[in-house]
Structure 1
Amino acid sequence: MPTEDKPRAVKHWRDCTDVYDFLEQIRLRPGMWLPDGSLHHLQAVLIGYQVAVAVHSVGDPCDFWHGGAFSQWLGKHLDGNSPLGWASDIERNTPTGSTPVQEFFRLLDAYRQDTATDAAAIVSP
């Protein structure tokens, strides 16, 4: 998750350590990864990522499958989700003055903050 005191650096995708590190690279250069700004392309990339992780038995949890943790969280925040997936939900609900890609990363940051808070609450008595 980006923070003001943590500089973000462009690096090769092979040097990414997990899905969130990879997503930071997309955030830094969205035009390179999503030439038309479509979240459907991002959703397809993340499905491919999750399939590769599963095929190679890598223990990197990826919450972006349709119906996965991110979709469930998003459904609560958008008052329901569409059978078309989280990309359609975000594109349909992007506020004026923002782009779907910007809105995805805003929601991703909120999701990560909420899940970190929930995890901390479970660990703390």
Structure 2
Amino acid sequence: MTSHLFKHSTFEVFLETVRVRPGMYFGKAPLTGLWCMLTGYEMAVEEHKIPKSERLDCCLVEEFDNWLRQQFGMGNAIGWYLFIINETKSEKEAWNRFLELWDKFLSCKLDSKRF
């Protein structure tokens, strides 16, 4: 039986679920766990040639990465995960910073669609 956990779903929906209880999903290292899950998921999708219609839509993760590059002048050498981990002192602080930046990103994206 094929699992359709992510069919027609988005990263935003998944993140809102995780946000309520990150420890339940990723233990004491939620940002690292999230990054590892996304990286593994991307590899599995490619390896198993999962059709786009059955994939978790992660397009906003790439847009978030590009937004951070513009906002903070990040180079191409690191992505969103390393940027946040390197600017914080703990996993808890990194998770909170990620959520703060994610919310700001979504707000900017929403504002840009209004005009």
Fold match by TM threshold 0.5: yes
Q: Which amino acid aligns with 1:107?
A: L
**Structure 1 vs Structure 2 CA RMSD:** 3.0
SS at match of 2:68: helix
Contact conserved, 1:50 with 1:62, CA < 8 A, in 2? no
Q: In the alignment, what sits opposite 1:20?
A: 12
Q: Which has the higher helix share?
A: 2
* Larger relative contact order (Cα-Cα within 8 Å, sequence gap ≥ 6): 2
TM-score (norm 1): 0.65
Q: In the alignment, what sits opposite 1:62?
A: 59
Aligned length: 104
Q: Deviations over 1:30-67 (max 9, x none)?
A: 11222132523212323445564x82222835222xxx
Aligned in 2, Cα 1:48/1:42: closer, same or farther, shift over 3 Å?
same
Aligned in 2, Cα 1:81/1:28: closer, same or farther, shift over 3 Å?
farther
User: How far apart, CA to CA, are the structure 2 residues paired with 1:57 and 1:116?
Assistant: 25
TM-score (norm 2): 0.70
Q: In the alignment, what sits opposite 2:29?
A: 37
Q: In the alignment, what sits opposite 1:83?
A: 77
Q: In the alignment, what sits opposite 1:10?
A: none
SS at match of 1:77: helix
Contact conserved, 1:38 with 1:101, CA < 8 A, in 2? yes
User: How far apart, CA to CA, are the structure 2 residues paired with 1:95 and 1:82?
Assistant: 23
Q: Deviations over 1:8-49 (max 9, x none)?
A: xxxxxx489421111011111111222132523212323445
4+ aligned runs moved over 3 Å, structure 1 = 14-17, 47-52
Which of 110, 114, 118 aligns to 2:108? It is 114
User: How far apart, CA to CA, are the structure 2 residues paired with 1:73 and 1:41?
Assistant: 22
Contact conserved, 1:63 with 1:69, CA < 8 A, in 2? yes
